[in-house]
Structure 1
Amino acid sequence: MKRVLKCFPGGKFKALTMSYDDGRIADRRLVEIFNKYGIKGTFNINSGLLGTSYRLSTDEIRELYKGHEVAIHTLTHPTLTRCPNEQIVYEILEDRKNLEEILGYTVRGLSYPNGSYNNTIKELLPQLGIEYARVVESSESFALPEDFYQWQPTCHHKINLMNLAENFNALYKKQYLYLMYVWGHSYEFDNDNNWELIEGFCKYIGGKDDIWYATNIEIVDYLKALNNLRFSAACNFVYNPSAISVWLSIDDEIVEIKGGNQVRLF
């Protein structure tokens, strides 16, 4: 039997994603930096606070975040573990409905406001159309998430960012799939007067041939499609029931499995 390994798009084995909260006006500068270096991010928005002090307006977010992902951060940013279930449902669904009306696409991700969550909240999320939720506790690792509803980032941008970036860039062994996930708030760069940190990071890590640059939901969708492949018992052919393409390595030969297709591997 040949060796069959799952890959990121194009046969890559590393991925980078970013996640920034609150929809503050400093996102304008951050998005500009991301776009300059080909970095893709997820921006978590409180739609009930749009247009208030230091926050983006409703009218600009559709155009600003084009090419990136907008996700839920709840309507008004409460500490969810202190809220009754009815309020949790309201905060999430109203935020989702508002954002979908503005953006014109389904919004399926969440970052927990104030990093507050518990098992009860996690169990509610699939029923509300939420497919992943980011926490604030950093792993300082490049592992794929074991629980999409308790998705740990690699680091906040204030914590060892460039050292982790260098370690990530140096990875060359393809036994695993690796993910670097950075989170924060764009206004922190104003507060700390260190925009050169994120500019330097993006310049250093952008444009790499072995890295897939993706939003949070793109990673969720891709990994679900990858894990939904239907292999024959001998692994010599495979059926992809998903709509999107996925990639496999067959004895180091990269093969694309298009959505809805069955492919002979060897």
Structure 2
Amino acid sequence: MALPGIYYCFPEGKHKALTLSYDDGRRADERLVGMFNRYGIRGTFHLNSGLLGQEDRIGAEEVAALYRGHEVSVHTVTHPTMARCPMEQIVAEILDDRKNLERLLKVPVRGMSYPNGSYSKEIVDLLPHLGIEYARTVRTHGGFGLPEDWLRWEATCHHKDRLIERAESFVSLHKKQYLYLMYVWGHSYEFDLDNNWELMERFCELTGGRDDIWYATNIEIVDYMKACQWLKFSASREFVHNPGAASVWLSVDGRVVEVPGGRQVELG
């Protein structure tokens, strides 16, 4: 008997995912979140809890309502260049930001982006001990692959870097033997400074509301890919057990199969 060929899929059997990531919690996030919501796009917003309510930043009392349906994540309390800081300061900046944001949101906060893109190997090694499961850098790779290291997560591009060209390439991808991820990052206030909100509007029009794209936050992508790795396959690949709580989707000889949480599914 021929053994089945199996590929991991994104939810509902999709092979493309889109996520966006915006830093600092500036007032322009209101307009950006509204745009995302209109087009069904979802993202992650990295906030400095010690700066909330200052100058043009979102107030602490606004956070839960504004970012509902998206992810709020760590950006440290005061936005230091961490590679220049003592480890005691780094621990406090990250852990206190988690605590402050969790008080506002009433959910665990498990990801971050590096303020000023600054980190070191010692900082990366520290993050799992502080409950951080991913961290986005300011480096980009221009492609649509998944990261090899969640704690050194490089995006596809900043929104100033050939955004529409890359979006057109992304939506045209069709080879289902790959999993594709487009990840865009930036700061919402840049659209005000550059007077180019129409750029993001055009991007959302191109990529939003499509049946073949999974719209996810950063942490949802991390959680889902970990759930894929937790699956327990029989040696023959004829059946699989999902020990987690969430469903995982597979392509089995081209047939999409859902593996519900806590269930064993026949694949042969």
- Listed as ranges, the matches of 1:106-255 within 5 Å are 106-255=108-257
1:216 CA drift (Å) = 0.1
Name the residue aligned to 2:42: 40
Deviations 1:203-231, CA, capped at 9 Å, x for gaps: 11001111100000000000000111100
1:253 CA drift (Å) = 1.1
Which of 4, 18, 23 is the equivalent residue of 1:2? 4
Name the residue aligned to 2:23: 21
Give the number of equivalent residue pairs. 266
SS in 2 for 1:137: strand
Percent of counterpart pairs with the same letter? Answer: 64
Name the residue aligned to 2:258: 256
Gaps of 5+ in 1: none
> Normalised by the size of structure 2, how large is the TM-score?
0.99
Structure-1 separation of matches of 2:247 and 2:177: 21
The residue type equivalent to 1:20 in the other structure is Y
Name the residue aligned to 2:74: 72
Structure-2 separation of matches of 1:146 and 1:33: 30
Asked if the contact 2:243/2:262 (under 8 Å) is kept, the reply is yes
Structure-2 separation of matches of 1:5 and 1:57: 44
1:140 CA drift (Å) = 0.2
User: Is 235-244 or 123-132 further displaced after alignment?
Assistant: 235-244
> Normalised by the size of structure 1, how large is the TM-score?
0.99
The residue type equivalent to 1:44 in the other structure is H
- Is 2:87 aligned against 1:88? no
Structure-1 separation of matches of 2:214 and 2:251: 16
Asked if the contact 2:4/2:267 (under 8 Å) is kept, the reply is no
Deviations 1:14-72, CA, capped at 9 Å, x for gaps: 00000000000000000000000000000000000001001000011100000000000
Asked if the contact 2:74/2:94 (under 8 Å) is kept, the reply is yes
**What is the Cα-based RMSD across aligned positions, in Å?**
0.5
Deviations 1:111-158, CA, capped at 9 Å, x for gaps: 000000111000000000000000001110101000000000000000
Gaps of 5+ in 2: none
1:250 CA drift (Å) = 1.0
Runs of 4+ in 1 over 4 A off after TM superposition: none
SS in 2 for 1:70: strand
The residue type equivalent to 2:24 in the other structure is D
Which of 58, 61, 65 is the equivalent residue of 1:59? 61
Structure-1 separation of matches of 2:82 and 2:237: 45
